């Protein structure tokens, strides 16, 4: 089996081409914020971080124009929603490349074209069968138009794996392994492209902080290691363990030589009250240590692939205030929207002295009650719509704020929305419900109850 090929052979397979790829990380430039600087200023900020490459989640003409005649290698993306159209229509694919890539190439150094973003995670299984055919069509379109330097791939989250521990026992999920992943690996192998992987030790650690050591997740472990009993390989950090799981899963399907490109990794600098370990200290520690790891000379690689360069993108450039979901989603940035740094970092690893970090205050789980209330009342129309939505969900969510009931007064949209948000969240948090409501809600540890009106809460 491929899994039995000595690790030395893997290293030899890669040595000849490893110098083609810079180990210096790039940056993910997301745009889900209503307070972000314009592209030309953002590109200057990216350069100030010493990034080698930039990844965007679309084909924004403004950004691609701003990247013209820079030395930054660029990754662009096909939207998830048009993957079925591309997979079934070569003409549509050709036209998409002609409209979205050709006008900027080669003056903008477009080097990677990702077909969708975490397609297996974020779309229904009706889209999945279209993924690899769409990748083939896009590659053919690039060839037809003479754009031969652009690698085609797609980004995957760690949930494409069914088992991941120990790494040598890792395997892709049975529902996608034969039909989706294996043909994808064949395409990547044939075109000498990468398996683009989103790796977040934060989420793995936060889901099980009792059994996973925080220092192990932050590349800070000195006396902590995990041994893979199947191979004897020793792991000193969670990132390597996660990456090697995917290498072994690919080898299990017969593709041990495909390189991994870290499409996203990072650590949140803030989050909600109920989110453990999301703080500036941990974010700076993780990202600085990640930069040290991947830029180390000689190339360290991972225990299963020693010496292999790991090209990468850190997530993300800015804190993006319009990203939905838990608070951490809006706090992955290296920069605030005004361009100032959340903490000092240098992606070239040439700078070693940084300003002192604030101590972490939430590395242990919060104990107590939390409420979800209206964050602001400046847009009564939006707040009324969110109130209506919350009241339409669950079991008698808003009965106490009906006329004549104990929480009706004061009779204001802000008050009623706060009650409705807390009631909704108390019912649905364990089923994935969030205290967000398009940015209109926030968590609080201060009880908003008044008189005989008692707000529902979540107890941690």
Active site amino acids? 118, 264
Tokens of 280: 């500036």
Q: How far is CA 25 from the centre of its chain?
A: 15
Distant-in-sequence, close-in-space partners of 366: CB < 8 Å, separation ≥ 6? 273, 274, 276, 445, 460
Tokens of 14: 């890669």
Closest CA to 235 of 165, 161, 290: 165
- Supply angle C-alpha 113, 201, 236, rounded to 5: 115
Can you tell me the distance from the alpha carbon of 139 to that of 86, in angstroms, rounded to the nearest whole number? 11
Can you tell me the distance from the alpha carbon of 84 to that of 29, in angstroms, rounded to the nearest whole number? 26
Can you tell me the distance from the alpha carbon of 206 to that of 282, in angstroms, rounded to the nearest whole number? 12
% helix, strand, coil for the chain, step of 5:
40, 15, 45
For residues 395 and 456, the answer to whether their CB atoms sit within 8 Å is no
The b-or-e profile of 63-101 (16+ CB within 10 A means b, else e) is: bbebbeebebbbbbbbebebbbebbeeeebbbebbeebb
Closest CA to 276 of 370, 369, 368, 363: 363
Give just the sign of the alpha carbon dihedral 291, 157, 309, 204: positive
Helix (H, G, I), strand (E, B) or coil at 128: helix
Can you tell me the distance from the alpha carbon of 170 to that of 159, in angstroms, rounded to the nearest whole number? 12
Query: How deeply is 378 buried, as exposed, middle or buried, from its count of CB atoms within 10 A (0-12, 13-18, 19+)?
Result: exposed
Can you tell me the distance from the alpha carbon of 404 to that of 455, in angstroms, rounded to the nearest whole number? 17
């Amino acid at each position: 089996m491929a899994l039995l090929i000595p690790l030395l052979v893997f290293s030899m397979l890669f040595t000849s081409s490893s110098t083609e790829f810079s180990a210096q990380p790039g940056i993910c430039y997301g745009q889900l914020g209503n307070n972000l600087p314009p592209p030309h200023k953002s590109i200057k900020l990216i350069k100030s971080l010493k990034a080698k490459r930039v990844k965007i989640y679309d084909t924004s003409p403004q950004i691609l124009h701003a990247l013209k005649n820079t030395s930054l290698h660029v990754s662009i993306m096909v939207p998830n929603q048009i993957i079925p159209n591309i997979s079934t229509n070569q003409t549509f694919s050709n036209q998409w490349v002609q409209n979205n890539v050709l006008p900027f190439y080669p003056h903008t150094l477009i080097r990677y074209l990702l077909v969708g973003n975490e397609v297996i995670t974020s779309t229904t299984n009706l889209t999945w069968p279209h993924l690899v055919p769409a990748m083939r069509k896009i590659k053919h379109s690039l060839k037809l138009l003479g754009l031969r330097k652009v690698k085609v791939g797609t980004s995957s989250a760690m949930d494409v794996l069914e088992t991941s521990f120990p790494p040598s026992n890792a395997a892709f999920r049975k529902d996608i392994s034969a039909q989706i992943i294996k043909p994808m690996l064949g395409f990547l192998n044939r075109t000498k492209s990468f398996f683009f992987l989103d790796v977040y030790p934060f989420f793995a650690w936060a889901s099980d902080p009792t059994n996973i050591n925080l220092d192990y997740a932050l590349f800070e472990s000195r006396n902590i290691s995990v041994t893979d009993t199947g191979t004897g390989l020793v792991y000193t950090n969670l990132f390597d363990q996660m990456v090697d799981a995917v290498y072994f899963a690919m080898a299990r399907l017969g593709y041990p030589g495909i390189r991994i490109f870290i499409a996203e990794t990072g650590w949140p600098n803030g989050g909600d009250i109920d989110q453990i370990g999301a703080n500036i200290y941990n974010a700076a520690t993780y990202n600085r240590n990640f930069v040290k790891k991947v830029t180390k000379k000689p190339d360290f690689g991972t225990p299963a692939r020693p010496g292999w360069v790991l090209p990468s993108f850190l997530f993300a450039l800015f804190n993006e205030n319009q990203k939905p979901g838990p608070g951490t989603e809006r706090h992955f940035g290296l920069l605030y929207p005004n361009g100032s740094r959340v903490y000092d970092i240098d992606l070239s690893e040439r700078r070693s002295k940084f300003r002192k970090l604030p101590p972490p205050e939430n590395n242990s789980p919060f104990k107590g009650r939390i409420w979800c209330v209206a964050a602001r009342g400046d847009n009564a129309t939006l707040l009324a719509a969110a109130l209506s939505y919350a009241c339409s969900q669950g079991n008698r969510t808003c009965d106490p704020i009906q006329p004549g009931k104990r929480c009706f007064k004061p009779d204001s949209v802000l008050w009623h929305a706060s009650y409705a948000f807390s009631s909704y969240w108390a019912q649905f948090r364990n089923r994935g419900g969030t205290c967000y409501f398009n940015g209109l809600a926030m968590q609080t540890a201060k009880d908003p109850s008044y008189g005989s009106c008692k707000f529902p809460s979540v107890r941690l």
